[in-house]
Each structure stands twice: as structure tokens, then as C-alpha cells.
Copies of this chain bind each other. A is one copy, B any other.
Amino acid sequence: MAENLKRGDGLPPAMTRLVKELSRLPGIGEKTASRLAFNLLNRPRDQVIALAESLLEMKERVGLCSECFALSDNPKCQICEDPARERDLICVVEGPADLMALERARSFGGLYHVLHGALSPLDGIGPDDIKMTELLTRVSPPATVREVIIATNATVEGEATALYIARALKPLGVKATRLARGLPAGGDLEYSDSATLASALTGRREL
């Protein structure tokens, strides 16, 4: 009896469109998107407007710092502009999220360089696809950089990128260091993988 009805999904088109847009986000399927859309529908008007405006503002204002390529809503980022930062110490990271993690750790007082990727020949990502030339230009004379800390990830790509950078820095006479590897804080020997334990042994320090 109910076969010849015009069937939608029982939602007004404006909701269907919002569900579609939300489900483009990573890790958000159609079910979660509907749940979010219903939740937003029941929110005070101001909150939904605030979310929409912050999306537009982000897209409009956030670009890359001209010096270190961190995310910034000014030509130069807050860190590069901060006179209290050591300017001859540069920490190289793969992406903005890595920079955030290091800033949260509150133990680095130099500048950053964000590569926006890592070398990965299999995916066709070479030195020209990331901010590699920009890094070499930045540490070449007349700049005086004391040390470059290579803080790429401890993955195959991150290690390859670190090696590449270290080799490129050698002729420039700039000291290149790599983040230490070993047991994470709270790490349990029993549950550590062999690669971590091997690094922890190799990198052991005298007490």
C-alpha cells in the first residue's frame, strides 16, 4: 500500500544537506552526522552561528607563517615574533600538530620549522613536495643557526626525512640532533615492543 509514495528520508532538505556536509569530515559517518545535526538543531541559535563563523574565520584568516610555515593568522606566527625565543635553535617537525605537542611539553624555547609532510618515495613525496628547500635556505649563511633539532616522527618516513636533513646540513656546518628514543614516560618493559627496547638500550645514559 505504501509503495507508490514519494519517499524522502523524512528530513527537511536543509537538514539533509547539513548531514551530508558533516559526513564529509574524517571519522564521521552518516549516523554520527545525523546525531550531530539533531544536536545542533536543538542548540541555542548563538552557538550554531558561533560554530559557522569560526569555520569561515579559520578559512579566511589562517595561513602559514612566512618564516617557519607554522599555522598563523598573521604574516609571521606568534612564536617567530616572540623576542624571548632563541633564534639560533630550530626544531624541525612534520606538521602543525607536532608543533602543538611540543609546545604543550613546555621545554623548548627556540623556533620551529614545519615541513608539512615527510619524505615518502612510495607515495611520490620528495624534497620538493615539503618545505625542505625553505629549511636549507633558512639555516644557510648569512643566518647563524647553532643547532637544528630534527623532531620528525619515529616512523620509516620520519627517519628517512631526518637522515636527509642531517646529510643536507653537514656541508653547511650546522649541528643536527635527533629527538631521543626510548621508553615513554610510564612505559612498562614487559609491554614495550622490541624496537623501543633496542633504542632504549642503545641510547642508555650514565647515572
Contacts and interface: CB of A to CB of B under 8 A. Distances in A.
Interface of A: 1-15, 17-18, 20-22, 24-27, 32, 34-41, 45, 47-62, 70-74, 77-79, 82, 84-85, 95-97, 99-100, 102-104, 106-109
Task: List 7 A-B pairs, minimum CB-CB distance, nearest first.
Answer: A2-B109, A10-B103, A12-B73, A52-B52, A52-B55, A21-B51, A18-B54
A61 to B, nearest CB: 5
Given A51-B55, A107-B2, A99 B24 contact: no
7 contacts: A12-B71, A14-B62, A17-B57, A17-B58, A34-B97, A38-B97, A41-B59
A1 B103 contact: no
Interface of A is mostly: helix
Given A82-B5, A84-B6, A51 B22 contact: yes
A157 B52 CA distance: 35
A4 to B, nearest CB: 7
A149 B26 CA distance: 39
A37 B9 contact: no
A24 B2 contact: no
Contacts of A17: 54, 57-58
Contact of A41 (B24, B38, B58): B58
